[in-house]
A and B are shown apart, each in its own frame.
Chain A
Amino acid sequence: MSIWEYANPVRFMGWTGRLLPWLWGGAALLVVGGLVWGFFFTPDDFRMGSTVKIIYLHVPSALMAINGWFVMVVASLIWLIRRHHVSALVARAAAPVGAVMTVVGLVTGAVWGQPMWGTWWVWDPRLTSFFVLFLFYLGYIALWQAIEDPDAAADLTSVLALVGGVFAILSRYAVLFWNQGLHQGATLSLDAEENIADVFWLPLVTTMAGFGLLFLALVLTRARMHVRLRRARARMLRTRVA
């Protein structure tokens, strides 16, 4: 049996239906647990005070905002190559979730920036490229909504997701060229010598994992909604013909 059998809509509805309660549970546990841990049981940063705690929302949402587009690119590729309808619907379902994650990242960043940098917004490379990413999401969602025929819409948005992915990365580095910024560098990377201190790191990783599960749960729930919408539409067409 190949992995592609899970992409059959009936099977997809089956296994996601069984998996989703666990995903939602895990997401709730990790996000709430990580946030409570981060907000109430970690010390204040010696320079940033308690504002540092926004990091437990800011970093995970930003992470999932970027990965959201990555999910769309992979799902679009699978749709273009193997024509699994569920894959196109997953790409469609991921876009609003990614857009919301982008907004959460931008807003928490603004709230954090106000006390730290003395301004809600600066035209810093990271902030700017995130804003551009948000615009990409908007265009993608608008294209889905504008096209009537579901297969044509899936094809066109897939091409847009691929091209947009390339341009999002290009914009990211073009923006670096344009302006130097206030945003600190990454405090958490696999290859860095010195990372963020463990007291902050552990709850942060917890909320990051939680946001990953939350993202997955949201996307699968939305994809199931789209599958059901398709079924309802098909049934409506059938009864009209009969």
Chain B
Amino acid sequence: MIALLLRDLRLAVRAGGGFGLALAFFTILAVLTPFAVGPETPLLARIAPGVLWLGALLACLLSLDRLLALDAADGTLELLAVAPLPLEGAVAAKAAAHWIVTGLPLALLAPVLGVLLSLPGQGAWVLTLSLGIGTPALSFIGAFGAALTAGVQRGGLLMALIVLPLYVPTLIFGAEAAGRAARGADPATPLMLLGAVSLGCVALMPLAAAAALRVNLR
């Protein structure tokens, strides 16, 4: 499982076009926001947590098609399916690798972009914290979406349609936590609920994703 995780990390870093693209996308989105809504500081500070969370969501979504589709195309998935490691474990390792190369850097980059969008003081740290807690849910739900559409040619849009509604609870709690901190309120409750969603997804989504993958490999 660890070997698989390391393999996916190495592939993401060394094979072109994976690692860093999501980060670049996230940054561009933050830069485009003031062009779209105007440069007034109070307005930007008000919408910054939501925009950054939305950016994280989309950056995560855009990198999902690399999660399983490449391995499905070149036959790696078949090998994983007959390996001694249960498919659930393989999916969990791949989702964890996806989180390390997209979710974690996004969370670390978020305070910098928060400063660009004039997110007030404490909000930046809670934003990082909420992204750090919430993005595993995004990766694991995304792994389920990728598993469902692994057999579909050009399934990107279909995956977006399936995955984005599933992101609703994560987005609500994450953006609420960051928003509350930016307004100076206590973000503990949404953070705890976000943690619950995230842990639940990490525990249960590999089962659903592996079930879907088995169907696609049949």
Q: Which residues of A contact B (CB under 8 A)?
A: 132, 135-136, 138-139, 142-143, 146-147, 152, 155-156, 159-160, 162-164, 167, 170-171, 174-175, 177-178
**How long is the Cα–Cα vector from A164 to B164 in the complex, in angstroms?**
11
B218 sits at the interface (CB 8 A): yes
Contact among B155, B190, B216 with A146 in the assembled complex (CB-CB below 8 Å): B155
Task: Write 26 A-B pairs (CB below 8 A) sorted by A numbering.
Answer: A132-B165, A135-B165, A138-B161, A139-B161, A139-B162, A139-B165, A142-B161, A143-B148, A143-B149, A146-B152, A147-B151, A147-B152, A152-B218, A155-B211, A155-B215, A156-B148, A167-B165, A170-B169, A171-B165, A171-B172, A174-B172, A174-B197, A177-B172, A177-B176, A177-B190, A178-B176
A136 near B165: Cβ-Cβ < 8 Å: yes
Contact residues in A for B169 (Cβ distance below 8 Å): 167, 170-171, 174
**How long is the Cα–Cα vector from A194 to B68 in the complex, in angstroms?**
54
B151 near A177: Cβ-Cβ < 8 Å: no
A163 near B158: Cβ-Cβ < 8 Å: no
A132-B165, A167-B168, A175-B172 known; A156 vs B215 contact (CB < 8 Å) = yes
B193 sits at the interface (CB 8 A): yes
**How long is the Cα–Cα vector from A142 to B161 in the complex, in angstroms?**
8
Mark each residue of chain B from 189 to 205: 1 if its CB lies under 8 Å from any CB of chain A, else 0: 01001000100000001
Question: Which among A146, A162, A170 has the highest number of chain B CB atoms within 10 Å?
Answer: A146
Mark each residue of chain B from 152 to 176: 1 if its CB lies under 8 Å from any CB of chain A, else 0: 1001001001101110110011001
**How long is the Cα–Cα vector from A164 to B169 in the complex, in angstroms?**
12
Given contact pairs A142-B162, A146-B155, a sample of 10 additional A-B residue pairs in the complex whose CB atoms are under 8 Å apart: A132-B168, A147-B151, A159-B215, A167-B168, A167-B169, A171-B165, A171-B168, A175-B172, A177-B172, A178-B176
B47 sits at the interface (CB 8 A): no
Contact residues in A for B215 (Cβ distance below 8 Å): 152, 155-156, 159
A152-B151, A152-B216, A177-B176 known; A159 vs B211 contact (CB < 8 Å) = yes
B72 sits at the interface (CB 8 A): no
B208 sits at the interface (CB 8 A): yes
Contact residues in A for B168 (Cβ distance below 8 Å): 132, 167, 171, 174-175
**How long is the Cα–Cα vector from A143 to B152 in the complex, in angstroms?**
9
B173 near A159: Cβ-Cβ < 8 Å: no
Task: Give me the 9 closest cross-chain CB pairs, A-B, nearest first.
Answer: A174-B169, A139-B162, A155-B215, A135-B165, A171-B168, A174-B172, A139-B161, A170-B169, A178-B172
B53 sits at the interface (CB 8 A): no
Contact residues in A for B218 (Cβ distance below 8 Å): 152
**How long is the Cα–Cα vector from A135 to B197 in the complex, in angstroms?**
20
B216 near A156: Cβ-Cβ < 8 Å: yes
B212 near A156: Cβ-Cβ < 8 Å: yes
Contact residues in B for A174 (Cβ distance below 8 Å): 168-169, 172-173, 193, 197
B144 sits at the interface (CB 8 A): yes
Contact residues in A for B176 (Cβ distance below 8 Å): 177-178
Contact residues in B for A139 (Cβ distance below 8 Å): 158, 161-162, 165
**How long is the Cα–Cα vector from A178 to B53 in the complex, in angstroms?**
15
Smallest CB gap from B218: residue in A: A152
Contact residues in B for A146 (Cβ distance below 8 Å): 149, 152, 155, 158
Smallest CB gap from A141: residue in B: B161
Least Cβ distance of A149 to chain B in Å?
A: 8
**How long is the Cα–Cα vector from A132 to B162 in the complex, in angstroms?**
11
A163 near B166: Cβ-Cβ < 8 Å: yes
Least Cβ distance of B173 to chain A in Å?
A: 6
Smallest CB gap from B215: residue in A: A155
Least Cβ distance of B47 to chain A in Å?
A: 15
Contact residues in B for A138 (Cβ distance below 8 Å): 161
**How long is the Cα–Cα vector from A177 to B176 in the complex, in angstroms?**
9
Contact among B148, B158, B164, B193 with A159 in the assembled complex (CB-CB below 8 Å): B148
**How long is the Cα–Cα vector from A132 to B168 in the complex, in angstroms?**
8
